[in-house]
Amino acid sequence: MKFKGQSAVVVGGSRGFGRGVVERLMASGMTVTAVARNARDLEELARETSAKIIVADATDEQASERILSETKPNLLVLSAGTPLDLRPLHEHTWETFSKPWEVDTRLTFLWVQAVLRTNEGPEHVVVFGSGAALFGSPLSGGYAGAKKMNAFIAEYASGVASRAKRPIRFHCLVPPMSPHTEFGAAAARAYAKMAGQTFEDFVKQLPSPPSPADIGAAVVALHEDPKKWNQVSYGISAKGLAPVEIPNSNVIRSSSPRLTKKDEIIYWTTTGIVVGIMLWSAINFAFNPAMKGAFTHFGLPNWFRIELTVAKFLGAFALLIPRIPRMIKDFAYAGFAITLMSAPIAHLSSGDPIFYEIGHATFFICLVVSYLYYHKRIGGAA
């Protein structure tokens, strides 16, 4: 069994997606403790799966630190949440509107905070968001915002752990509406009614909604292969996992590196080669008198040599300095790409031997690899 000897705590593990996680983790060899408020549901789970159970209110400020201290899990899964109060905005009270914040977001905040405060906490935390954070949920009050904040909390925590050099991974699962749970079926019925459709017709339109078993398999996959799943937020469907961008989280995301040690070596090696050759070229342009003749050979004016020298210095520093804004780095990459494509054209047009192009091709490949790994590093799409 792949996780034999490891343990997990699943908050909200007595039913729905949480129960699916409990069952798949146990099938993978983990010792699992399920936490929930409903003792009857937990006792049923214990009878059917032999999972350990703890009856507790996950929003209690003392519960998170106490349970983590008692269980010392390798994996923490936060799947608990409040039932949806489904009604149009004008029919909500502030209490019904804000309840997802008081339960879903509060418990995520408290448990993640407890993980960051302890030195014996889990090395992996999976927080549950929702597709509502991406697409909205007009009948569920503050639910969409609460789930979006859960994703942000996972992002914030990932950045904190990274800066503190603590080996804690944070993930946020973002499942869409699913009729395979009591929670999701209730939402589907409400939205079917709003759309004037039958429940069956509405469900047919849902794109591959995941079952509890699918969710459990996704958590197993995230825990099993840290190098593969190196982004924070992932959408989940019956077809599997796919990275998602939570709107407006790119600034937070960039504070947490996304590369493995091997990837970092590739990034800095290729970047170093590009920066080194550009600085050497710029210095040569600036101080080697023969370069004036070379530019004349290409049919280029001397002022272009000076301009290109300055541009290469600036571009090299833009790639080398970590906190240069992304837009400027992208501009430097584009400028170097144009330079490395233009140089072979200039040599060939001037009748120079073709072996000149070998170096340019090599450096261009390094530039492309550096660019791709730079965007992987900041969590963006190249």
Decide the pairing of beta strands 124-128 and 7-11: unpaired
Residue 333: which of 371, 374, 379 has the closest Cα? 371
User: What's the pLDDT score for residue 378?
Assistant: 65
User: What's the pLDDT score for residue 291?
Assistant: 79
User: What's the pLDDT score for residue 1?
Assistant: 63
User: What's the pLDDT score for residue 380?
Assistant: 41
User: What's the pLDDT score for residue 248?
Assistant: 58
CA distance linking residue 335 with residue 330, whole number of Å:
9
User: What's the pLDDT score for residue 379?
Assistant: 54
User: What's the pLDDT score for residue 256?
Assistant: 41
User: What's the pLDDT score for residue 337?
Assistant: 92
- Cα R_g (the chain), whole angstroms: 27
User: What's the pLDDT score for residue 376?
Assistant: 78
User: What's the pLDDT score for residue 12?
Assistant: 96
> In a structure prediction context, what are the per-residue pLDDT tens digits for the chain, which is 382 residues long?
688 899 999 999 999 999 999 999 999 999 999 999 999 999 999 999 999 999 999 999 999 999 999 999 999 999 999 998 999 999 999 999 999 999 999 999 999 999 999 888 799 999 999 999 888 899 999 999 999 999 999 999 999 999 998 999 999 999 999 999 998 999 999 999 999 999 999 999 888 899 999 999 999 999 998 888 888 999 998 888 988 877 655 444 433 444 577 888 998 999 999 999 899 988 988 888 887 777 777 788 888 888 888 999 999 999 988 778 888 999 999 999 998 888 888 877 777 776 666 777 888 899 999 999 888 776 543 3
Q: In the block, which residue shows the tokens 């170096």?
A: 359
User: What's the pLDDT score for residue 381?
Assistant: 35
Residue 263: which of 236, 208, 226, 211 has the closest Cα? 226
User: What's the pLDDT score for residue 355?
Assistant: 63
User: What's the pLDDT score for residue 93?
Assistant: 96
CA distance linking residue 119 with residue 114, whole number of Å:
10
Sign of CA dihedral 323, 328, 334, 335: negative
pTM of this prediction exceeds 0.85: no
